[in-house]
Amino acid sequence: MIRLGRHGVALAGVLVIVGSAVLAALAPALAPADPIRNDLLSRLTPPMWMDGGSGRHPLGTDTLGRDVVSRLLYGARVSLLVGFAAVLVAGAVGVALGLVAGYYGGRLDDLLMRVGDVQLAFPVLVLAIAVLSVLGASLGNVIVVLGVTGWVTYARIARAETLSLRQRDFVEGARALGARDGAILWRHILPNVLPPITVVATFSVARTIIAEASLSFLGLGIPPPAPSWGAMLDEGRNYLTTGWWLALFPGLAILLLVLGINLVGDWLRDALDPRVERGM
Amino acid sequence: MARFLARRLIHAVFVVWGVVTVVFFILRLTGDPAAFLVDQTATREEIAHARHLLGLDRPLYAQYLDFITSVPRGDFGLSIQQRRPALPIVLEHLWPATAELALAAIVLATVLAIPLGVVAATHRNGALDHLSRLGSLFLQSMPSFWLGLMLILVFAVALGGLLPAFGSGSLRHLILPALTLAAAPLAQNVRLIRSGLLEVLQQDYVRTARAKGLAERGVVYRHALRNAAGPFLTVTGLSLGFMLSGTLVIETVFSWPGLGRLMVQAVPGRDFPVIQAAVVVFAVLFVAVNLIVDVVHGLVDPRARVA
């Protein structure tokens, strides 16, 4: 029963992720209004089921009269794009460095691991803010910064797996048959490194989405007026008494998406990593 | 033990050196640090003058040597906004405001996690265990600043000002920000204590303790919990990193006059000496806490000294 339940929960997670992606992709068709068009006459309209609400703005409008649903739909694009792109950058860089470090060992390995120690000494947001305050806030910069700061975990896992794999019979066999290092790493080691990496990557997509929301909340993410869930929360936090929906709905959107990703991550961990106790 | 200590200490010093080096280069990512170190209204001549005054027209290695020798003396230059040394400003915000908040959060996240984790472990796969699993999942899936906003919405707005929404100075002001900061580490700690306990509870010495007739409560709290503490300690050290990141947003939400908010507010004013000092202080704190955790772990458990 528990196994069935776990599959069901993971399926719900997949549905949330796919659903968000579809909604984000179809945002132009689905959004009831232009997400960045001001309409000061209908500013702070409450959600449609409340007094003063209107069917034209199902979840109300913000302080500039912009439609909340539309901004949420377009905001999903930012969250998903940053979340997946940054993790892709971090994963690619980290796995490549980890494979090389683990396979060749020696000075290069020492150097990379020490650089990793330095990287880990920076709290992620602290480093991201420092770098973004120099480079300026933009979609590309946010992806690069969150991507580059995330490489260490992947490098460490890839290195550890490679270390244990490089002496194994199938690798020795490939080497004996004259395979070159690049081919061994690519064809024999990488496929075995990927399962644990996938688990970690899934959880980091969730964390990166929260990090992007935090940066946007602090005004260092995607520049306004482009809709991002974190920026919407920043705009809403000064109107908690008069427009509570501005602070509620973008947060719920983040919670739902991140929860969905974490559920899939839990399931992947159980499925791909047999060492982890089931039911944790 | 002495060798272990020495090795860990050298490593920590190395990491701090790396941190300072990274901070030096961050400012040079765009090529012209002078633009960040003077007032935004400065004219081209003033920038050139400042560049000369700050030694930025000298070769890069000379500037680096200069930086790497002034930082240990606590010299990060003058704050652009306040026109006084940056480091004292940073330290004034770290102590007491941020220290108070972080300590309160660590205490909350630990003190609440122990009974919750024990209950989850002793009721394994029961309703309480599932509830704690669900709770942890939710707390770890929401941005902390949003949790803070929702707490304000409930306790300060809906309940008519039961707790203050922002500011500092009294214990009542501390409650909401500390809870917010503690939420994610608490969720993680509960799961950690649970899995640690489950592992330990299968050990022989636990069976022995039970066999000699010790009450279950004594078995769990006296024997098992103590042995499950090692990994818990290590993770608490690491989770401080997340907590330091958390202070940036949570202090902003609650207008808490700490280091996180100082750093965030320094960005629009491009107060780079303050930003640099704050980054170094954050990183040094993180390294120091993890060093202490490692050493304590090594004292408690000799097996940890090899790593």
Q: What is the pLDDT of residues A5-24, one digit of tens each?
A: 668 888 999 999 999 999 99
What integer pLDDT is reported at residue A279 of this predicted model?
A: 39
**What 8-state DSSP symbol labels residue B97?**
I
Chain A from 18 to 57: CB within 8 A of any B CB: none
* % of chain A beyond a pLDDT of 90: 44
- Give the length of chain A: 280
Report the interhelical angle of B171-200 vs B127-141 (nearest 10°): 130
**What is the structure's pLDDT at B79?**
87
Cβ neighbours of B270 in A, within 8 Å: 133
Nearest to A143 by CA among A46, A227, A224, A78: A78
Query: Mean pLDDT, chain A, as a whole number?
Result: 87
Tokens 């009831």 — which residue?
A32
- Which of B27, B140, B252 lies closest to A134 in CB terms? B27
Please state, as a whole number, how many other Cβ atoms lie within 10 Å of the Cβ of residue A93: 17
What pLDDT is stored for residue B28 in this prediction?
80
Q: Among partner residues B145, B267, B287, which is closest to A217 by beta-carbon distance?
A: B145
- Minimal CA separation from B225 to chain A, in Å: 18
The verdict on a CB contact (< 8 Å) between A121 and B18 is yes
Measure in Å the smallest separation between the Cα of A280 and chain B Cα atoms: 7
Inter-chain touch A233–B145, beta carbons under 8 Å? yes
Helix, strand and coil percent figures for chain A, each rounded to 5: 75, 0, 25
Nearest by CB to residue A247, choosing from B14, B153, B275, is B153
Give 10-residue mean pLDDT values along chain B (307 residues). Answer: 87 93 86 69 78 79 88 87 90 91 90 88 86 89 93 88 80 90 90 85 80 79 75 75 85 92 88 91 90 82 69
What pLDDT does B209 receive?
A: 81
**Chain A: residue whose CA lies nearest to B138:** A259
Residue A50 near residue A59, CB atoms below 8 Å? no
- Could you give the CA distance from residue A199 to residue B238 in angstroms, rounded to a whole number? 20
Residues forming beta bridges with residue A61, ordered by sequence position: A67
Contact B274/B263 with Cβ under 8 angstroms? yes
Peptide bond into A225 cis (omega under 30): yes
Q: How far is A243 from chain B (nearest CA, A)?
A: 11
Nearest to B145 among A2, A129, A214 (CB): A214
Intervals of chain A under pLDDT 70 = 1-6, 273-280
pLDDT reported for residue A22: 94
